[in-house]
Structure 1
Amino acid sequence: MSNIVSALNQATYTGGIAEVREIGLQGMITLRGDMSSAAVKSAATGVAGVDMPAPNHANCVGQRGICWMSPDELLVLCPYETVADSLVKMRKSLAKAHALKVDVSDARAVFDLSGPNAREVLAKLVPVDLSPAAFKEGMFRRSRMAQIPAAFWLHAPDTFRIITFRSNAQYAFDLLKVAAQPGSEVGYF
């Protein structure tokens, strides 16, 4: 039997103004439905173990969390090895609700961008105001990172968590490394 590995097998870049790290395997379930439905909310919070986030926010603790993707879509995070059981749990709690739940874990790559210059590094790549006044911890955005779609949130002070498609993992990693090259500080934030 093969070993399951993440897109870049936890590649890390530490030689620049911020650290870039592919975090490894992360369980991810796309949940689409009516967000005002108690069953949909219960399915998400029951698996993630956290409260529902506000629109354009993520509520995450460790490997568990809920990311607000759109008015009818959540990304539910759980440990990779619990995805199958989490889907069964969701299926039971959504038995009478119109909803879609899909394991997207192996279709995504997840990175941490950390350090005192992380905000500046990401700001070079996304069309989002990342100033400390405009983008605070827990805020979540779906956008473009150079030429690829990406979703990201300020996971902790000075740490962004970034999700891309697995097929774009190497490009995303290289892009972040270039933006974090030594001496590339802009000094804006």
Structure 2
Amino acid sequence: MHNLQARSTVTSHLVTKRTFPIATPSLRLAEIPLHGLIRIQGDGKASKLKASIEAALGVALPLPERSTVNGTTRLVWVGPNEWLVLCALKDEETILQNLTSSLANQFAAVTLVSDARVSFLASGSEAVVFLAKGCGIDVNVAAFPVDAAVTTRFASLPAMLLRQATFEYVLYFDVSMAGFLVEWLADAAEEFEA
């Protein structure tokens, strides 16, 4: 059997005429290296399920369109019956096992999706202006505070948008869209490079 090595990034393997990552004084765009992503699905109204998730992760369930954090583990509300765990790659297997064990004999599913997603960090004082080019979500701090998270469309693609700090946003996409996204992000960022 061959030893397979997990990719750290996707964009480093793309053939493109664009320069990526992008770093200007007011905007930075870069791929976030591979990290753990675990999808949890179950009845969001079931108190036993909620308590089991919280016990397994050591983090409270977030309110709709929000996320909660405990150390390097973030739990994101994706929908009424779905959450996404973001964690360090080194913790992925342990968290997956804890969740699977905690949710045993409950109507729930725990799925590892790390390799199915690609994520990009948009940061800097012009990140809000840049993000407005790709989606209609108001990401100003009053409407979209730190720890806010929504599923939306960005650059006409399904995406999850998360605000992790005042000037830091993370966009998650299907990994198969990485090539298109690098081209789109680089093109949309040209005005900030002047």
Tell me which interval the TM-score lies in, with the shorter structure as reference length.
0.7 to 0.9
Counting matched residue pairs gives: 185
Name the residue aligned to 2:157. Answer: 148
CA 1:84–1:132 in 2, change beyond 3 Å: closer, same or farther?
closer
Q: Which residue of 1 aligns with 2:5?
A: 3
Structure 2 CA distance for partners of 1:90 and 1:132, relative to 1, 3 Å: closer
**Alignment gaps of 5+ in structure 1:** none
Which residue does 2:16 correspond to in 1?
Answer: none
Structure 1 range deviating more: 168-177 or 106-115 = 168-177
Specify the code of the residue in structure 2 equivalent to 1:145: F
| Counterpart residue identity of residue 68, structure 2 | N
1:56 to 65, 71, 77: 65
Q: Which runs of 4+ in 1 moved over 4 A?
A: none
Amino acid at match of 1:120: V
| Structure-2 separation of matches of 1:58 and 1:12 | 26
The residue type paired with residue 7 of structure 1 is: V
1:100 aligns with 2:109: yes
Aligned-partner Cα distance in 1 for 2:59–2:6: 27
Shift of the 85–131 alpha-carbon distance from structure 1 to 2, 3 Å rule, reads closer
Q: Deviations over 1:138-157 (max 9, x none)?
A: 11111111221110111101
Correspondences of 1:88-167 after superposition (within 5 Å): 88-167=97-176
Residues 153 and 166 from structure 1, CA distance in 2 versus in 1: closer, same or farther, beyond 3 angstroms?
Answer: same
Q: How far is the alpha carbon of 1:7 from its aligned partner? A: 2.1
Q: Structure 1 138/150 Cα, relative in aligned 2: closer, same or farther at 3 Å?
A: same
Counterpart of 1:169, as a letter, is A
Please name the residue that 2:17 is paired with.
none
- Aligned AA (1:3): Q
Task: For 1:27-38, list aligned pairs within 5 A.
Answer: 27-38=36-47
Aligned-partner Cα distance in 1 for 2:81–2:38: 14
CA distance in 2, matches of 1:169, 1:63: 25
Query: In the alignment, does 2:170 pair up with 1:168?
Result: no
Relative to 1, partners in 2 of residues 1:44 and 1:111: Cα closer, same or farther, differing over 3 Å?
Answer: farther
The Cα offsets for residues 127-167 of structure 1, whole Å up to 9 and x where unpaired, read as 21223322211111111112211101111011101111111
Residue from 170, 178, 186 that aligns with 1:177 = 186
Q: Compute the RMSD of aligned alpha carbons.
A: 2.3
Kindly, what percent of the aligned residue pairs are identical?
A: 28
SS in 2 for 1:180: helix
Q: Does 1:14 align with 2:23?
A: yes
Deviation digits for residues 15-68 of structure 1 (CA, Å, limit 9, x no counterpart) = 474101111011011100012334432443345442221101122356411110
Please tell me the residue identity of whatever aligns with 2:162: W
Q: Distance in 1 between matches of 2:57 and 2:185?
A: 28
